[in-house]
A and B are shown apart, each in its own frame.
Chain A
């Protein structure tokens, strides 16, 4: 049999085989065993067959052979013959059009076509296969479209020449694609049509061309679930939008058509329309846009003034601003023509302030002003005279508030555009001067109006004064606008508010403070020279007995540390104040408040930096003297636990950031303190009570140890310190603050300073490993605490060898009646976050330590709880809850099946002492409901009942009740309807009692929860309808 016969035989049954046969033919052609003429002749008889499938397949054969033929096998002449041959098929036989197009594609791949060939291919198709939609098969059309797409991407000039040589070409070309519905083909058509749109002169056919694409607007296509081509509606929308925005010639058709569709009742259509308009404005020429700018304004303003959907309004604002931006590049006449009706209408709305539309007018003006400094100037000139006139003419606070609202929007946009223009032009003096220029004419008036509103406004008019404060702040932020005297006036007014505002106007004071902090960024000197003295006057050396009015001043003062240029002044003044207060024996609370302000400044402010670390002189000049004084002078406020804690934190913040070299200098200076602390902790005579041993330095020492780098402290030093701390923790009656410091230091030392290899030996030599530490005979609260502190440090670094001794020992102890519960509660400390055990403090934090804790503890507990005695069962549940409350959800997730029954049992812990366990458990269950509701489905009944029980007053704390209600409120949304509906009646009934809870916060949750359950019913009704 000949190749063609074999091919025809295999074509439908075995495609790879058919392709192989075609490749074989190609091979024979290449080796000259077969002549082209012979090949064509062999096909010839089938091409004239009456049966379409045979004709189709034989052309397909030719195409497959050509695809398999390497370039240069066929001569120019042969290729020309083939082209003629295939084109004659195209002209004569519409039923084999798909394979013919593919054969042409294959032929083109062999060699580039010349102008004549391209012209013939294009016209043959246009003349004989127009319109494309006559071909029913999507794949046939797809092949033709691929061919045309190829012509337009590789032979663009030739096709363009076709267009330029004949007026009939383009209409035929456009109508050719009419009526295509397949998304994959449409994607190609849109991209084909974009070529004439962008590159050709299409003015005479603009409407047809526009209609050809706009007929598809809006795209409502939804891809079928198993779409093989993966084309999304968004891709179609994007490409269609590019077409619509392709040329200014479309404007006369595009804008009316789009605005017409804007009246659609479908929100999605409106979204697409607005999106398309934005693209058009960015794509069309400014000259064209100016012809439609007012029409667009008239249509779009409704979306903003009669706001229905927030995102539509935002898009409409974006359009208005884009128009202004485009027109600003055109003649000033067109910009003025656009802005004039906007300014006129805005002025009308402003007259009614405060209304929905005056607010909207403010938004419009703001987004338009933002588009360019020039626009901003015009808006300012157009709006502000009227605005101030209305302001002066009205006595109504509400009206004035509405006007200030609009003023703020406009001023804000001029701050924005100045910073923009600065970025654009490095020597932007001219532009920024220009922008402030228009506002400058009104700055005096604006300042007066706002200042009076702030200072003289009635105290009860909160929003009025808040807006005025914001306005003053913004005025001060417009560069080159206000003189220094004017800024001083603002600052004085704001400081007065901070100092004098009555208590119940906390909002206003917060706003004033924020404004001052903001102004400090631009005018640090004015703040230092004018705000500081006024504030300092209000900070006495010794406050009156019982007075706490200094707190407000301190808060404002501390926040000013956010500005680096005045940071040093803030902290030095605070330090001086502390010294004076301590010297004059001011109340401890006052000194402590000053210390807190200092801690705030260092942790939230912007201290100076030197060699990439916070400047060391803060430590030398400021913190160290405080520390020395705190340790030396007993009975002073600095010497209290909280005072030492505050100073410790200051040391930590500064020392932590220093490099190795500077840290080692500091380490040398604290040697003495370390030795003292260790000596005091080594005293193990149980007769000495807490008061006899001075442990005050132990708190600051903790913060130093936390701050030091890992490689700084020699192992021997660390060993000694750990020995002393363990001794102190086990054998001394320490006050709780000192005890906490010692235990946290234990965690730090085992985590940071001991190498992994020596940990086992060190702990053994100190006799703090199980069983010596945790034997039942010598078990005490102290030994349990120490055990958990050690384990915490080890767990963070994932030290398996020692953890494998501690954790099983603790789990064992849970069954112990006397200490079991204490041990159980200890589990919650293991993973509890501790701000000192952090990466910043150079701790070793293994990535998988939480996973490890889970693996070593949870399975052991879930097994043990099944066989344990009833009286110790709560211990296991407490321990379990203590671990999992700190775990990320992903760790718990795989074990939910075994965990959920235990979690539900936790909710049964009735004793009031277990409230915290319940609260933590409800949090975990809430997370399960959010992520894996299917896992809870089978437990729905027990979960709902238990949660309802948790809402009972007296048996549960308000916190538990609120959490239970929150969790319960998720159930109707998260679980399957058929699971939940049977509980609806019972739940809503019992929740009615929660509506009458004695705590307001609980009632708020009850209302939300109950309405979630009530809406369940409505859904059910809907189904029934």
Chain B
């Protein structure tokens, strides 16, 4: 039994309090007028009837024209399901990552396509020895999951960790990150953390 955890009894957020796209943007749903869609499909909707003998109408591809940009919520969804290395709990429910601490910085000049994603990580306690591993996990997840036009910048949130600067230095140093990912044990830990990602 692993009793020597840094924080054996962390505070937990309830899943329904975590930011999600549904709560942020209710008009996303097909019926924005208050109904929950309970009656959908009960009666044949002839206005939406599609003749099976005709090829699908071209209208369905017009929906493809609305571009849904990658936003902070999407980044949050990517990293909130990462598991904590100490607990079988997600980083989101431990409030290690939170929506307000994610920022997408658009390209500096109109010519550049490069945006930056900045994520601030809040360790559950100030002396958490695993802060670097968590930061690394977040970084690896984002580098794998975001298109190449995004630069990833993961830091420990200011004032939440006793050795925050040192950790930040480590997380910001490409060489050191690359070296860390050569370490078999560390790769194993990170893979385990990412295995719960959806």
Contact = CB atoms under 8 A, between A and B. Distances in A.
B54 A825 contact: yes
Contact of A645 (B43, B54, B63): B43
Contacts of B87: 307, 356
Contact of B49 (A597, A736, A1008): A736
Interface in B1-54: 1-3, 5, 8-12, 14-17, 22-23, 26, 31-36, 38-39, 42-46, 49, 51-54
Contacts of A466: 16
Contacts of A549: 33-34
Contacts of A1018: 187, 191
Given A463-B17, A915-B56, A1000-B74, A953 B34 contact: no
B144 interface: yes
A641 B145 contact: no
Given A645-B43, A1003-B74, A548 B52 contact: no
A506 B3 contact: no
Given A463-B16, A507-B16, A1000-B74, A995 B9 contact: no
B33 A1007 contact: no
Given A308-B2, A548-B34, A558 B89 contact: no
Interface string A731-754: 000001100100000000000000
Contacts of A915: 56, 60-61
Contacts of A826: 52-53
B194 A595 contact: no
A1025 interface: yes
A514 to B, nearest CB: 11
A749 to B, nearest CB: 20
A178 interface: no
Contacts of A599: 39, 42-43
A1011 B194 contact: yes
A401 interface: yes
Interface stretch (B97-105, B146-154, B158-166, B172-180): B146-154
A958 B145 contact: no
A175 B89 CA distance: 49
Interface residues of B, number: 63
Interface in B64-83: 64, 66-68, 70, 74, 77-78
B110 interface: no
A555 B38 contact: yes
Contacts of A916: 56
A600 B39 contact: yes
Interface residues of A, number: 87
A841 to B, nearest CB: 16
B56 A551 contact: no
Interface in A957-990: 957-958
Contact of A1011 (B3, B144, B148): B144
A263 interface: yes
Contact of A996 (B35, B66, B147): B147
Interface string B161-197: 0000000000000000000000010010001001001
A355 interface: yes
Contacts of A194: none
A999 to B, nearest CB: 6
A642 B39 CA distance: 13
B42 A642 contact: no
A710 to B, nearest CB: 24
A358 to B, nearest CB: 9
Nearest to A501: B34
Contact of A558 (B9, B14, B15, B39): B39
Contacts of B46: 641-642, 645, 736-737
A164 interface: no
Which among B64, B148, B184 has the highest number of chain A CB atoms within 10 Å? B64
Given A551-B31, A829-B52, A355 B68 contact: no
Contact of A822 (B15, B39, B53): B53
Interface string A937-960: 000000000000000011001100
Contacts of B52: 825-826, 828-829, 832
A503 B38 contact: no
Contacts of A504: 23, 26
A233 interface: no
A548 B78 CA distance: 36
A449 interface: no
A825 B146 contact: no
A967 B54 CA distance: 27
A828 B197 CA distance: 37
Contacts of A555: 35-36, 38-39
B89 to A, nearest CB: 7
Given A401-B14, A828-B52, A1011-B144, A548 B36 contact: no
Contacts of B60: 915, 957
B38 A1011 contact: no
A510 B36 contact: yes
Which among A356, A462, A641, A954 has the highest number of chain B CB atoms within 10 Å? A356
B56 A913 contact: yes
Contact of B35 (A467, A507, A548, A992): A548
A162 B88 CA distance: 56
A825 B58 contact: no
A832 B52 CA distance: 10
Contact of B43 (A356, A646, A993, A1000): A646
A600 B68 contact: no
A1000 B191 CA distance: 24
B78 A359 contact: no
A356 B70 contact: no
A781 interface: yes
A825 B53 contact: yes
A1005 B44 CA distance: 31
Contacts of A1000: 68, 74
Nearest to B35: A551
Contact of B36 (A506, A954, A999): A506
A354 interface: yes
Nearest to A1007: B145
A1015 B44 contact: no
Which among B2, B36, B45, B63 has the highest number of chain A CB atoms within 10 Å? B36
Interface string A341-379: 000000000001011110100000000000000000000
Nearest to B14: A463
A649 B53 contact: no
Interface in A894-933: 912-916
A575 interface: no
A1014 interface: yes
Interface string A614-631: 000000000000000000
A709 interface: no
A95 B88 CA distance: 59
Interface of A: 263, 302, 305-310, 352, 354-357, 359, 398, 401, 461-463, 466-467, 503-504, 506-507, 509-510, 548-549, 551-552, 554-555, 558-559, 592-593, 595-597, 599-600, 603, 641-642, 645-646, 649, 736-737, 740, 781, 784-785, 821-822, 825-826, 828-829, 832, 912-916, 953-954, 957-958, 992-993, 995-996, 998-1000, 1003-1004, 1007-1008, 1010-1011, 1014-1015, 1018, 1025
Interface of B: 1-3, 5, 8-12, 14-17, 22-23, 26, 31-36, 38-39, 42-46, 49, 51-56, 58, 60-61, 63-64, 66-68, 70, 74, 77-78, 87-89, 144-149, 184, 187, 191, 194, 197-198
5 contacts: A302-B3, A308-B2, A356-B11, A549-B33, A1003-B74
Closest 5 CB pairs of A and B: A551-B35, A548-B33, A996-B147, A463-B14, A913-B55
Given A463-B16, A642-B46, 6 more contacts: A507-B16, A548-B35, A549-B33, A600-B39, A828-B52, A829-B53
